[in-house]
Structure 1
Amino acid sequence: MPRSQDPSPRLPASGRRQPLAEVGEVALLKVVTVNATGAFLDWGRPKDLLLPFGEQDFRPAVDKSVLVKINVDEQGRPVASMRLDRFIKDEAEGLAAGDAVTLVIGDRTELGVKAVVEHRFWGLVYHDEYQAVGSRPPRRGERLTGYVKRVRDDGRLDLTLQPLGGARRDLAGERIMAALDDGEGFLALNDKSPASAIKAQLGISKNAFKQAIGGLYRQRRIRLEAAGIRRVEPGADPGVE
């Protein structure tokens, strides 16, 4: 029987509170019960979420996770559906290049990975976009902040995982300055450092790093040294070693 009696969100064995999913969202949820009514999903609430047989693309097993859209039925009760294409549009509205958006990662394709944008529209993150910020593709069901790279003539969205233009440089610069603060004013990275080392330490691509340190140097906020980058106090000459 699905749970219904506990008045507070469920705490798993680890003691961490399960994140709540909301009506209107797309989420990857675990199957906790299957009976003659359908499957019941853990959505972080005391009463499990029904996934009716009629809304299933396949019969999910207990402990497996499924990507669903959370809706309400004719009686106003929350229900889930695996049939995302009935609710997620290919043609986006009200978005423009550079907009920051919430992404929920869907299936892989030959070109990259599909993602649900703002729980309403489909978009695509191309392989080279996620390879620029990490070695692995985003996982199915993972929720990320992304950015609209382009709105195509047909309304379809090309997505990126990094801010565009100046916003991207600002984000990279903020991370570099924070790392300098943590390192007592020194960061052992420079434009010759491997992309993997820059990604591991700062979470940004090498290209974004190089653009950011160029901007910070021009602003006289850092000095470029053979072994890395050093923070410059206001009014000092940055110089180059």
Structure 2
Amino acid sequence: MIELGNYNTLKILRSTRVGLFLGDADVDDLLLPNKYVPEHFEIGQELRVFCYLDQEERPVATTGTPNITRNSFAFLEVAEVNDYGAFLDWGLDKHLFVPFREQPDRMESGKRYVVYCFLDPKSQRLVASGRWWKFLDNTSLELRAGEKVELIVARRSDLGWDVIVNNKHRGLVFHNQVHRKLQTGDRLPGYIRQIREDQKLDVVLEPLGREKLEPAALKVFTLLGERGGVLHLHDKSDPQEIRQQLDMSKKTFKKAIGTLYKQKKIEIRTDGIYLVAQ
């Protein structure tokens, strides 16, 4: 059975002037247009292809890579808006439709939004929804405190950042736990800090041992990790240079590296500070 919106492994059944026709036990007429046909192929060979509906609403295959698949989330740009809804650029020839009913606020051309892709049960077409939170479920959590998870940053709120956890749960990173620049659509690892009695997830961006660091020390520690373990700043660096790189005063910086040094997380050398292998 061909699954629209996902990758399918199908056999090459025949070659025609318009492309290859692929199939499996249930389908024998799925077209792979000429522009996607590999240079070398054999009848009977299996191909892994993505399946969706073309401009004529016919099932079609592509060897192209979409930016979102069925039952998943992504941060996509609006290519066009018309009287029916918005159309997202998801990396394929035909844009992905977002009906007005699936837009919490009217989408605008050129802007990017976190969306969820699903098969509409009425039309049997792939559509997207900007109401991403509807597709998350925290009623059955198989997670534990400290566990590493994959995050998509979905939205900034008064409390912090709403995040999508492992493509299926909703979590929150509180503002006071954020020590790096975040933007909607960012994909990054995180860690479960707490599972509340109401099944809400508190998430942090650093392993739980690191969050015990005070904010300035954690900021320096995080930046060291992002820069390959070295930061060419030290206690004799120009205050303006420290401000430019870390957005903190020299006094705060010296206190931060003092904390990291006492915890044996860094070495202080003449040319800067270095992470100590843990």
Normalised TM-score (structure 2): 0.56
Q: Partner of 2:46 in structure 1?
A: none
1:42 aligns with one of 89, 93, 96: 89
Deviations 1:56-114 (A, max 9, x none): 22332322222211112236542101222321124461111112222222222221111
* Residue pairs, 1:28-67, within 5 angstroms: 28-67=75-114
Provide the rounded CA distance (Å) in 1 between the counterparts of 2:154 and 2:194: 19
Deviations 1:31-65 (A, max 9, x none): 11233443211112232111123322233232222
Structure with greater strand share of residues: 2
Using the size of structure 1 for normalisation, the TM-score is: 0.63
Q: In the superposition, relative to structure 1, how do residues 98 and 198 fare at CA in structure 2: closer, same or farther (>3 Å)?
A: farther
Within-5 A mapping of 1:48-197: 48-74=95-121, 77-91=125-139, 93-130=141-178, 133-134=179-180, 136=181, 138-165=182-209, 175=225, 178-179=228-229, 188-189=232-233, 197=245
Mark the CA change 1:188 to 1:118 in structure 2 (over 3 Å): closer, same or farther.
same
**SS of structure 1 residue aligned to 2:197:** coil
Query: Helix, strand or coil: the match of 2:108?
Result: coil
CA separation in 2, counterparts of 1:105 and 1:159?
11
Q: Judge conservation of contact 2:67–2:74 (CA < 8 Å) in 1.
A: no
Query: Distance between the aligned counterparts of 1:46 and 1:69, measured in 2?
Result: 19
Unpaired segments ≥5 residues, structure 1: 10-16, 181-186, 233-241
Structure 2 stretches lacking a partner, 5+ long: 1-32, 37-49, 51-63, 214-220
Match of 2:263 in 1: 214
Q: Which has the greater radius of gyration? A: 2
Partner of 1:27: 74
The 1-side partners of 2:126 and 2:151 are apart by 22
Report Cα offsets for 1:2-26 as digits up to 9, x if no partner: xxx89569xxxxxxx9972222222
Higher relative contact order (CA 8 A, sep 6+): 1
Amino acid at match of 1:116: I
Q: Could you tell me how far apart the structure 1 residues matched to 2:130 and 2:265 are? A: 47
SS of the residue aligned with 1:70?
strand
Residue identity opposite 2:154 in structure 1: G
Taking only aligned residues, the RMSD between alpha carbons, in angstroms, comes to 4.3
CA separation of 1:226 and 1:43: change in aligned 2, threshold 3 A: same
Secondary structure, counterpart of 2:263 in structure 1: helix
